[in-house]
Structure 1
């Protein structure tokens, strides 16, 4: 059983940072959808949004993950803790898979090394917010 800190005094600042990370992912996704509208879903063009390469698949995936992080932040409590721990690890794993496929034909999400670095950092922020976001029972 994991021993997460309960009611950590930095819970709210970490939650704010997770919200900012979710907002960035959502904004990147929505702008990416708008910029790549009408292109094939796995297009490998040279579209850049907010400093990251994108295509419609990457934009939609980022939008969904960003909205998931934002929903967890808004709900707060132990939902925020559980969802952000899972999404934090998932973002880090996703970044490592993208790194493995970066210079190959398997790079169907049209990402660059900048995307990998940013996703790793966002994953770490979301994971940290989740780890310190656990709330104890009040009774």
Structure 2
């Protein structure tokens, strides 16, 4: 699938992309702020838990960077927010898989625990869903700009017509 700039500036899907990016960015910033408030050392792997997840300053920095990036995406909106949500969501899922392999090992510098891995998977799927909303489906509405872009010239033939009087409708 090609991710092009086919979404009109005023399309209602832009609101979904913006709200999704803003919500997830704020959640990450709150988690980061709580991690900074705990004032752990940067790569401490025996720190306290925040909201049920283990953290350290390095994870708080990463959460801050990603949260700010999502808020920037929310401010820009449109296809940029959608594409950013898709990319960040995919990276969260990959991060969850990567951290599964380093649990309880010295390479676990971000102090991930199993709850962090589950959070990474869930947050990644949520962010990616916001990015794919109205963009990836087999039953997109015919007025959807992504459907029109994928089916040039078929817009007129595919639009539903009013039933003719006396004939049964479909």
**TM-score class, shorter:** 0.7 to 0.9
- Number of residues of Structure 1 aligned to a counterpart in Structure 2: 135
Q: Comparing 118-127 with 2-11, which one deviates more in the overlay?
A: 2-11
- Structure ID, larger Rg: 2
| Larger RCO of the pair (alpha carbons < 8 Å, separation 6+) | 1
Structure 1 stretch displaced more, 24-33 or 5-14: 5-14
Are 2:43 and 1:49 equivalent residues in the alignment? no
SS at match of 1:106: coil
Provide, for residues 70-101 of structure 1, a one-character-per-residue CA deviation record: whole Å limited to 9, x for no partner: 21122110110111111111111111111111
CA distance in 1, matches of 2:74, 2:134: 10
Matching of residues 1-139 of structure 1 within 5 Å: 1-2=1-2, 12-13=15-16, 15-36=18-39, 39-132=40-133, 136=145
- Residue 104 of structure 1: how far off its partner (Å): 1.6
- Where structure 2 has 5 or more consecutive residues not aligned to the other structure, the ranges are 136-143, 147-170
| C-alpha RMSD of matched pairs (Å) | 2.7
The 2-side partners of 1:115 and 1:128 are apart by: 19
Distance 2:62 2:134 in 1: 25
The normalised TM-score by structure 1 is: 0.82
Cα distance in 1, alignment partners of residues 31 and 56 from structure 2: 11
User: How big is the shift at 1:47?
Assistant: 1.5
Instruction: Return the alpha-carbon distance in structure 1 between the equivalents of residues 66 and 96 of structure 2.
Output: 13
User: Which whole-Å CA distance do the structure 2 matches of 1:13 and 1:84 have between them?
Assistant: 11
Give me the whole-angstrom Cα distance separating, in 2, the residues matched to 1:133 and 1:84: 13
Residues 38-72 of structure 1: CA distance to partner in whole angstroms, max 9, x if unpaired? x4311112311122110010111011111111211
In 1, are the aligned partners of 2:53 and 2:116 still within 8 Å (CA)?
Answer: yes
Unaligned runs of 5+ in 1: none
